[in-house]
Structures are given as structure tokens and as C-alpha cells.
């Protein structure tokens, strides 16, 4: 467990930016580099699971091999990587509170006052640790948007998690929006600046920024974002709109998201495994995508 590394993915500005697809695509990239990867989805809804939620509001329920009714993002994880998802890969606020209240009724807390900190956050951290056992990398997606009241316990938990696990064992990736204003003919970075500011106010400084936008960002825009968000220019990546979701890993690869190797290379026993990340092969993914488009064109 001590050798497992964690990549936490948060989202800002607005919902439906594609955190799940980003997490799945990062998993695909790292798998191509020979690493054993798993994904987790932490959902701030109070529902125990998505099984009773309207698919029109929350998306289609994904049923795992062990029969669990989970978030649709677990379907993305399975389709992009070779890891089979299960009940252990999806956690909701409802599950967290149900577990904590059950322990309180059982007397596990020995009469202590049960609070969000540390009891709720500890429950979340325990889940993250247990789910990651046996893997090289665990990619943890935090549902919701930075600034939402519902997601605060999860953000606080991962803030604590990094301090406890060590900065060399966890990195924060923040997916944000960089809109293109057609009438002005330019992209605007202000939403991203405010999103990162909100994240920093709760104690989380992102290491990597994924900027969802219509076209690839220029070096000048990346430099501006880096300056105001307190990250390196080489840590700012374009998450460009695509016609097919399976193109996302290719976009990340073109943007050299493999930059993560700079973090991975400092992670002790990973040096040997990460030595070939620069030549990370996506040939099988490219063949699949080519076949997909040929199929579409013949329909």
C-alpha cells in the first residue's frame, strides 16, 4: 500500500466538464505505460447509490459485475482501462453517513461527539486507502464542482489525505473551463482563475490544470493561466472538445500529459516503471479509434 500513488481529480466553474472521461483517459495513458491502475468515484450526493436516481438527471446507472448500482463514470473507467469496477469503486455521501451513524449506534466511537471532522473525513480516507490496495496508481474523481457545499467534506478529506500520505505520493489535477467568446474572438481565463482561487482557499493547490476549451490553447494563454494560478506553465494542458470520447486519451497524449512522469519519477520504486513513459504506446487505442470511425462512416 505504501507504494501506491494517488491522482485526485476535481472540477471547477461548472458541472459536466468531463471529469469522468478525464479520469478514464488518464488511466488509459498510465496503463499504456505498464502501470496497474484503478479508479474511484466519490459522489457528494446523499443518495446511498444512484439506483433510485432519475437517469434524466444523473445519467444512466452502471451496474458492475458484483451487482452494485453505481455512477455512470464507472462505465467510462471500465471501457477505457482493463480494470473491472465494483461496489468498492463508488462512494456517496449517503454511504459515508450511513456507515458513520451505524458505528455511532454500535458504540464504536466510545461516547465521543461525532463530527464531520474527523469522523466523516476519516471514513472517506479509509475508503480511498482500502480501494487502492494492490494497485500502482489510484485515480480518484471528486464529483461536483469546487464551491459546492456538498463536496466540502470530500475536498477536506483529500487535503488531509495528501498531508498524511506525503506530497510525493499524491497529486491534484483540476479540470476547469476556458470559454471562447465568439463576439470578442478570444478565450477568457478568469473563470479558471477564480476556480483555482476557490480551491486554494480550502487548502488545495492543484499541481496540474486541465483546461476544457474548444481549441488548443496558445502558449501565451497557458502562461497567463500558470501565472495567476500558481502552477508551472508545463502543468497547464488543453482538454480540447472532441467528436468522439475515445479521442480524449489521444488529445492528452498530444498535450504531453505524460508530464506526470516528472512527478512519478520522484516516487521511489516507480523509477523503473516510469522510465519508458516518454515512449508510452497508444497504438492499440489508435487502432480501436480507427475501426470505430470506419464503422461510423459505413452506417
Half-sphere exposure of 87 (CA within 13 A, CB side): 8
User: Phi first, then psi: what are they for 185, rounded to 5°?
Assistant: 70, 30
pLDDT tens across 10-54, in order?
A: 999 998 899 999 999 999 988 888 889 999 999 999 999 988 888
Alpha helices (H) in 112-246, listed in sequence order: 121-131, 152-165, 190-201, 219-229
Element of type H or E holding 10: strand 5-11
Beta bridge partners of 138: 6, 38
pLDDT tens across 120-130, in order?
A: 999 999 999 99
Q: pTM of the prediction?
A: 0.88
pLDDT grade, residue 285 (50/70/90)? Answer: low
Q: Which residues contact 60 (CB under 8 A, 6 or more apart)?
A: 72, 75
Nearest to 89, CA basis, from 140, 137, 54, 52: 140
- Angle between helix 19-32 and helix 73-80 axes, rounded to 10 deg: 20
Question: How far apart, in whole angstroms, are the C-alpha atoms of residue 121 and residue 119?
Answer: 6
Question: How far apart, in whole angstroms, are the C-alpha atoms of residue 186 and residue 168?
Answer: 37
pLDDT tens across 55-113, in order?
A: 887 788 999 999 999 999 999 999 999 999 999 999 999 999 999 999 999 999 999 99
Q: What is the mean pLDDT of the chain?
A: 88
CB 181 within 8 A of CB 47: no
Give me the pLDDT at residue 75, please.
94
Structural domains present in the chain: 5-297 (3.40.50.300)
Amino acid at each position: 500500500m505504501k507504494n501506491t500513488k494517488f491522482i485526485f481529480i476535481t472540477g471547477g466553474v461548472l458541472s459536466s466538464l468531463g471529469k469522468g472521461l478525464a479520469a478514464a483517459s488518464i488511466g488509459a495513458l498510465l496503463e499504456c505505460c505498464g502501470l496497474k491502475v484503478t479508479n474511484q468515484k466519490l459522489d457528494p450526493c446523499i443518495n446511498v447509490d444512484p439506483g433510485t436516481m432519475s437517469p434524466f438527471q444523473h445519467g444512466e446507472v452502471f451496474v458492475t459485475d458484483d451487482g452494485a448500482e453505481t455512477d455512470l463514470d464507472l462505465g467510462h473507467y471500465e471501457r477505457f482501462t482493463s480494470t473491472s469496477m465494483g461496489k468498492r469503486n463508488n462512494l456517496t455521501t449517503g454511504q459515508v453517513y450511513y456507515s458513520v451513524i451505524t458505528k455511532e449506534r454500535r458504540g464504536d466511537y466510545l461516547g465521543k461527539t461525532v463530527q464531520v471532522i474527523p469522523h466523516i473525513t476519516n471514513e472517506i480516507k479509509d475508503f480511498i486507502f482500502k480501494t487502492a490496495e494492490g494497485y500502482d496508481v489510484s485515480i480518484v474523481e471528486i464529483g461536483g464542482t469546487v464551491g459546492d457545499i456538498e463536496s466540502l467534506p470530500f475536498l477536506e478529506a483529500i487535503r488531509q489525505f495528501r498531508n498524511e500520505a506525503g506530497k510525493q505520493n499524491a497529486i491534484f489535477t483540476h479540470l476547469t473551463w476556458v470559454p471562447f467568446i465568439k463576439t470578442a474572438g478570444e478565450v477568457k481565463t478568469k473563470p479558471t482563475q477564480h476556480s483555482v482561487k476557490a480551491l486554494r482557499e480550502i487548502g488545495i493547490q492543484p499541481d496540474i490544470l486541465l483546461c476544457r476549451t474548444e481549441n488548443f490553447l496558445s502558449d501565451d494563454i497557458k502562461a497567463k493561466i500558470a501565472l495567476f494560478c500558481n502552477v508551472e506553465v508545463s502543468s497547464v494542458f488543453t482538454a480540447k472538445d472532441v467528436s468522439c470520447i475515445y479521442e480524449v486519451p489521444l488529445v492528452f497524449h498530444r498535450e504531453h500529459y505524460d508530464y506526470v512522469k516528472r512527478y512519478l519519477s520522484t516516487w521511489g520504486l516507480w523509477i523503473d516503471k516510469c522510465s519508458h513513459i516518454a515512449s508510452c504506446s497508444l497504438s492499440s487505442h489508435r487502432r480501436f479509434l480507427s475501426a470505430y470511425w470506419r464503422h461510423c462512416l459505413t452506417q
